[in-house]
Structure 1
Amino acid sequence: MVFEDVLEEYLYHCMARGYTQKTMINKRQECKNLKIYLKEKRGITELESITTFDLRAYFRIKQQAGLQPQSIVTMYKMIAAFFNWCEREGYLSENPISKVVTPKVPKKVLNGFTVEEVQGMIEAFSYKTYIEARNKAMIAMLADCGLRAMEIRSLTVENVKEKTLLIYGKGNKERIVFISPELKKILIKYDRMRKQYFKDKIIKEDCFFLTYLGTGLSHVSLYNVIKEAGKRAGVEDKRVSPHTFRHFYSVQSLLSGKLDLHSLSLLLGHSDITTTQRYLSSMNNEQLIDKATSSSPLMNMKGS
């Protein structure tokens, strides 16, 4: 089978599964890079002609070019997803990617937000204008619900319920996230200002969080809001991003002792609990001591 034809079918398969535009751009780019390499450097245009040696050579070139291990692993996952699909579809009897070894990625411990920093970022915005109220509500929701950037940007008015959020995550997977009373208080004020601001304006997209023009927020716009929150709150030497808020939500949920790892995994929309377990390894010593103390059998025997 012609490699290019199978690639095209695979990409349409991914689109049908509801992958985000950003994910599709990355997949197309990596598939294109592999296609060019195989054709120009190895003289391969047929899917069945691709061997493990060809793929090892491809990743070796990436390493020699100075790419970081994490970048190579990310590329590997995208290419592996294609070949695994080919095997499932019966296009390949043997999977050439199965014996390709990826470089080890050094473990980096994320320096997460403190409770005081998150509180400061929420309080950095007021209710004086629609944009200020919107920013406050977004920061509060990120901290209290652990949403991905794509999830908070695509959240619709219809999916903000009385006590829950209906979220469509990676692969368009549906899940329910709960709204705490503290977050609800902020959302009520924001929604009131949102309705007032757009009373005589045209809303162009059905997003809960809108720009002043009535359109949904772009990826860059959301990041700019978060960066501004960190700047106003004086957060330094930390990555101020949606993922760090997601990390904060996860760690605080585990520290509280009110959520088990499986429940947290469902709320985060993780397909594999091992992804959620990584948040445990990012806890600092002080946080681990607090968790150990609260779960101490002897401490819990007091007053029993």
Structure 2
Amino acid sequence: MKWLKILEDYQFYLKIEKGLAQNSIDSYSNDVKKLLSYLEEHEIVTTPLSISHDDIQQFIYTVAKNLNARSQARLISGLRNFFEYLIFEDYRKDNPTDLIETPKIGRKLPDTLSIEEIDTLIQSIDLSLPQGERNRTILETLYSCGLRVSELINLQVSDLFFEEGFIRVIGKGNKQRFVPINKHTQKYIQFYIKDIRSHIPVQKGFEDTVFLNRRGKKLSRVMIFTIIKNLTTKAGIEKKISPHTFRHSFATHLLERGADLRAIQQMLGHESITTTEIYMHVDKSFLKEVVATFHPRNKNK
């Protein structure tokens, strides 16, 4: 069986059986393509069914020179999933990655923005420009709803249920959830749609997309990253900030103010509570306050 044919079948499996988003499918596919490029470069003749542990180990050893521990772990995980698929389809009996040791990595947390820093970023936006109003609305929405960047750029006008106080979000694996949205952010979205978006010549296929570029098409992920990067520089904030920083800040600020972790999990769209806990970069003073407030043995209550 040839590599490209099995890779095509694997991509179909990830989409249909696993329900993964295209970005995830591309990521898994790229792991296999890196292995294939290595085999071709080193003139190693083997198939997905016959490739050995030694071949995989040598590949990892070779590429590891240019990858940090986290990237190595991600690559090994991607290959392991690919060979698990071959076992699932009865193409192989064994997984050649089973004995490959994954580098130990700690939990990496993105920087959290303070409320003051978020205000500073938003105040740095030039509202005299049409895209200024759009960009302010984007930041307000990212922060107030804790959205992933892919969820933001795919948000539809028909997903806005302002009378009920919710927006509908299509998350990873096309899973749907409803996230509360406050009146403050609703106001910005309504103003943007009515006074800015209405003057943009919307291209066919994007009539229902909330956030548009000047050509009337959906914004790209790269554009959102660029907007935030430029604002960070303008605001003089030295932290490494991305769209995900607003999602992390959303969760952290809610937790610090006493929100239930399960509620935050639901709003973020995490299947596992363990994933939500990774976002919780909580300082020790907050934990001490929680015990002081809620523990039944606290004699100062």
Which band: TM-score by shorter chain? 0.7 to 0.9
Match of 2:180 in 1: 178
Tell me what 2:254 maps to: 253
SS in 2 for 1:166: strand
Q: How many residues align?
A: 296
Kindly provide the amino acid, as one letter, of the partner of residue 60 in structure 2. Answer: F
Cα deviation, residue 39, structure 1: 5.4
Q: Aligned with 1:158: secondary structure?
A: helix
Letter in 1 for 2:159: N
TM-score by length of 1: 0.85
The answer as to whether partners of 2:11 and 2:29 remain within 8 angstroms in 1 is yes
Deviations for 1:233-273, whole angstroms, at most 9, x for unmatched residues? 3322x11111111110111121122222x332222122332
Provide the aligned C-alpha RMSD in A.
2.7
Give CA deviations for 1:71-123 in whole Å, capped at 9, x if unaligned.
11121222122112222222222222222211112444433111111122233
Q: Which residue of 2 aligns with 1:59?
A: 60
Q: d(CA) in 1 for partners of 2:28 and 2:77?
A: 10
SS in 2 for 1:49: coil
1:165 Cα shift? 1.7
The residue number in structure 1 matching 2:30 is: 29
Q: Structure 1 pair 300/125, CA: closer, same or farther in 2 (3 Å)?
A: farther
Alignment-mate amino acid for residue 277 of structure 1: E
How big is each residue's C-alpha offset from its partner over 1:25-58, in whole Å with a ceiling of 9 and x where there is no partner? 4333321221233456483433332233322222
Question: Given residue 186 of structure 1, which amino acid in structure 2 is its aligned partner?
Answer: Y
C-alpha distance 217-299 of structure 1, shift in aligned 2 (>3 A): farther
The residue type equivalent to 1:114 in the other structure is S
**Aligned pairs (5 A) from 1:62-73:** 62-63=63-64, 65-73=65-73
How do residues 1-304 of structure 1 correspond to structure 2 at under 5 angstroms? Answer: 1-16=1-16, 19-38=20-39, 41=42, 43-63=44-64, 65-125=65-125, 128-162=128-162, 163-198=165-200, 201-204=201-204, 205=206, 206-236=208-238, 238-260=239-261, 262-280=262-280, 282-297=281-296, 302=301
CA distance in 2, matches of 1:296, 1:193: 51
Query: Matched residues, percent identical?
Result: 28
Residue type at the aligned position of 2:276: T
Paired residues of 1:130 and 1:190 also in contact (CA < 8 A): no
Which consecutive unaligned segments of at least 5 residues does structure 2 have?
A: none
Which runs of no fewer than 5 residues in structure 1 stay unpaired? none
> d(CA) in 2 for partners of 1:117 and 1:228?
15
